[in-house]
Amino acid sequence: MKHILMSHGAGGWEMGELIRQVFVATYGPPDFQPDDCAFLKWEGSRLAFTIDSYVVDPLFFPGGDIGRLAVAGTVNDLLTAGARPLALSASFIIEEGFGVADLKRIAQSMAATAAEAGVALVTGDTKVVPRGAADRLFITTSGIGRVQGSGLSGAQVKPGDQLILTGPVGSHGLTVLLAREKLLEGEDLKSDVAPLADMILPLWDHQVPVHAMRDPTRGGLAAALNEIARQSQVGLELWEEEIPVPPGVAAACDALGLEVLNLANEGIMLIFVAPEGAFRALELVKSSPYGREARIIGRARDSFPGRVYLRTRLGTSRLLPFPSGELVPRIC
Amino acid sequence: MKHILMSHGAGGWEMGELIRQVFVATYGPPDFQPDDCAFLKWEGSRLAFTIDSYVVDPLFFPGGDIGRLAVAGTVNDLLTAGARPLALSASFIIEEGFGVADLKRIAQSMAATAAEAGVALVTGDTKVVPRGAADRLFITTSGIGRVQGSGLSGAQVKPGDQLILTGPVGSHGLTVLLAREKLLEGEDLKSDVAPLADMILPLWDHQVPVHAMRDPTRGGLAAALNEIARQSQVGLELWEEEIPVPPGVAAACDALGLEVLNLANEGIMLIFVAPEGAFRALELVKSSPYGREARIIGRARDSFPGRVYLRTRLGTSRLLPFPSGELVPRIC
């Protein structure tokens, strides 16, 4: 590993290696976990803290824009930690010559998304770089949340846990890819990007026994589930026929040779819940507009620890590998 | 204002206008203050929250690098709020092809700077963009601190307050500018970039009556002091002969036609303190290696509210205006 490749940012195996070899090797937390948040003790309670940069191209796409993405992505990361999102900060790196009207539109989109999620945008920063030094606009958002209960990690899944997927897969990654390549004309596709606080917070209010959550962004379901299988050392069994794929997404994946389970999503959540809480969790999630198509798509087992198996529509079983390679660049 | 100009990121008047017209107009805090942190209530205590992106060019310069800058800058912003820095998050936007050895060196510099400041780097993110979509590496850091006492804002300066400057001015901005233009050869200049926790925290431990602090980064002393004069509606009187300028900085400013009071600094602090605490504050600051050259450089008055006046070496007085224009780009 001498130079950074596109695959180092794609959410797959190579990104994990970069993080381990450069950052974990330097900062050295002995118990490093690839979760989306850190926890800090604070006056007897716990605080979740997260950060993400957004470099999506194009900046505006059907269903959303970089501003909605930057707020929703950070809100959803806090939710995966079992935290109630409280406050966000946002930093803008802007290329000289960028249109102020576009910047205002993006700022308004961020404000609307934050209001929807019930979080405050409380502080920020702007930097301008000369023409050619950045591609139009990058946004970094950091978030703080109050941990409900003891907090969640991908390491807490137990054999027997049911796996809920809250909505159909693949639309965000595919929409952004096709919008960038100007192949969207006539397609009925849009990104699912959404802040999921209204769907997830009731799980805490009703004390549903949730063991882990993950929003399957870069690397899709395949990356998120492989990470959790390794962290928790359980085997994950997925039922392919239960995973909702919009017809337009399935058709485009077939035509382009893309694996839908590797595509990024920005408005769905994977929820691992103890069996006795599964029905209640599903009921609560389905009562949110973003969770209407939620269903149980698999379960955790004690066989094949660290692996993800897909039971196909044909009745066969196959390993779902950790994605690798470039996947789809700049989708978030 | 139709397109973003370099001046919109330079820390001067135009940046203030951009922030007011785009961000404040959108998020609308009625009591917006141009401070570097936001405050959040948390379990009876208060938390300070800040974010900054770093786009410095070159990435390595005499005295520091983008990693040291990204940690020190965010630590110092927390200190200006009257907070004890606790934890940082860091997000990396990396251009495809960037050297992994350089990335490791920068990660190690961040770890060393964080250790020096007594803060933990707890979470992060990496994005990779294709060649040409970013200029090598941008880092965004966000920080959380515990507010000591009631927290500081630039709005709390009172007539009579003494103004302490903790070290000489101009070296960071000038060093980065000359390093970028490859004009540094033979110059004995280096950036002052440093995390100032060891110098500032004893002020709280000893209950010194500090009313405001500001680290004079983009836009230099001129921007920082004009902001505070406006926020507090006091007049600020500066004594030019008391402001330490390293001879190499003064000579280069003369040769290049730069105003040293507009140049960015990354390792000094402006401290406003009630008159009865000024001596104690100076003593404490001077006992830190970064504060040996600290001195009182001026005072707050009730005349000329909102303005900064410079008493020159010649005995005359002149207005020190809010800087405007491009100033020096990409110095942080």
- List the structure tokens of B263: 């140049």
Chain B nearest C-alpha distance from A313 (Å): 35
Same domain, A243 and A198: yes
* pLDDT recorded at residue B287: 97
Residues B74 and B141 in one domain: yes
Q: What is the mean pLDDT of residues A309-323?
A: 93
Select the residue from A128, A181, A331 to test the B interface by mutation, using most B Cβ atoms within 10 A. Answer: A128
CB contact under 8 A, A53 and B140: yes
Q: Is B125 on the interface with A (CB under 8 A)?
A: yes
Rounded mean pLDDT, B64-92: 97
* Same domain, residue pair B99 and B222: no
Reported as a single tens digit per residue, the pLDDT across A8-55 is 988 888 888 898 889 888 887 656 667 889 999 887 889 999 999 999
Q: How far apart are CA A32 and CA A28, in angstroms?
A: 8
Q: How far apart are CA B119 and CA B143, in angstroms?
A: 9
User: Mean pLDDT, to the nearest integer, of A244-272?
Assistant: 95
Beta strand extents in A148-188 (DSSP E only): 162-165
**pLDDT class for B24, splitting at 50, 70, 90?**
confident
- Do B143 and B171 have their domain in common? no
Statement: residue B30 has pLDDT above 70: no
Domain boundary among A105, A121, A147: A147
Q: Are residues A121 and A269 in the same domain?
A: no
The residue out of B97, B123, B147 marking a domain boundary is B147
Q: What is the pLDDT of residue B43?
A: 78
| Locus of tokens 């936001």 | B38
B78 and B159 in a single domain? The answer is no
What pLDDT band is residue B290 in, cutting at 50, 70 and 90? very high
3-class DSSP string for B266-299: CCCCEEEECHHHHHHHHHHHHCCHHHCCCEEEEE
How much is the mean pLDDT over chain B?
94
Nearest-CA distance from B268 to chain A in Å? 20
CA of A315, closest CA in chain B: separation in Å?
A: 38
Kindly state whether residues B165 and B304 are assigned to the same domain. yes
Q: Which two tokens stand for residue B27?
A: 């998020």
Write out the DSSP string of B306-330: T-EEEE-TTS-EEE-PPP-S--SSS
Q: End-to-end CA distance of chain A, in Å?
A: 24
Contacts of B140 in chain A (CB under 8 A): 51, 53, 91, 93, 140, 142
Q: Do B128 and A5 touch (CB under 8 A)?
A: yes
pLDDT at B273 over 70: yes
- All residues of chain B having their beta carbon less than 8 Å from the beta carbon of residue A18 are 100, 126
The per-residue pLDDT for range B168-214, each reduced to its tens digit, is 999 999 999 999 988 887 778 999 999 999 999 999 999 999 999 99
Interface residue B52 vs chain A (CB under 8 A)? yes
The C-alpha atoms of residue A173 and residue A329 are separated, in whole angstroms, by 9
Is pLDDT at B314 greater than 70 in this prediction? Answer: yes
Check pLDDT > 70 for residue B31. no
For chain B, the domain total comes to: 2
Domain range enclosing A131: 22-147
Residue A277: exposed, middle, or buried by beta-carbon count in 10 A (0-12, 13-18, 19+)?
A: buried
* Reported pTM: 0.96
Domain assignment of residue A242, yes or no: yes
Q: What percent of chain B has pLDDT over 70?
A: 98
Res A184 pLDDT > 90? no
Question: What SS3 class is residue B258?
Answer: coil
Under 8 Å CB-to-CB from A255, ≥6 apart: which residues? none
Q: Does one domain contain both B180 and B66?
A: no
ipTM metric: 0.96
**In chain A, which residues have their Cβ closer than 8 Å to the Cβ of B95?**
4
pLDDT range class, residue B239, cuts 50, 70, 90: very high
**What does B14-27 look like in DSSP terms, one character per residue?**
HHHHHIIIIIIHHH
Alpha helices in chain B (DSSP H): 13-18, 25-27, 66-80, 100-117, 171-180, 197-205, 220-232, 247-256, 278-286
Assess if residue B158 is contained within a domain: yes
pLDDT at A30: 58
What percentage of chain B carries pLDDT values higher than 90? 83
Distance between CA atoms of B17 and A306, rounded to whole angstroms? Answer: 53
- Chosen domain end from A147, A171, A197: A147
Of the candidates B205, B211, B208, B202, which has an alpha carbon nearest to the alpha carbon of residue B160? Answer: B211
Q: Which of A41, A142, A146, A330 to mutate to test the interface with B (most CBs of B within 10 A)?
A: A142
Whether residue B70 is found in the same domain as residue B218: no
Are A307 and A169 contained in the same domain? yes
Report the distance separating Cα A273 and Cα B10, nearest Å: 50
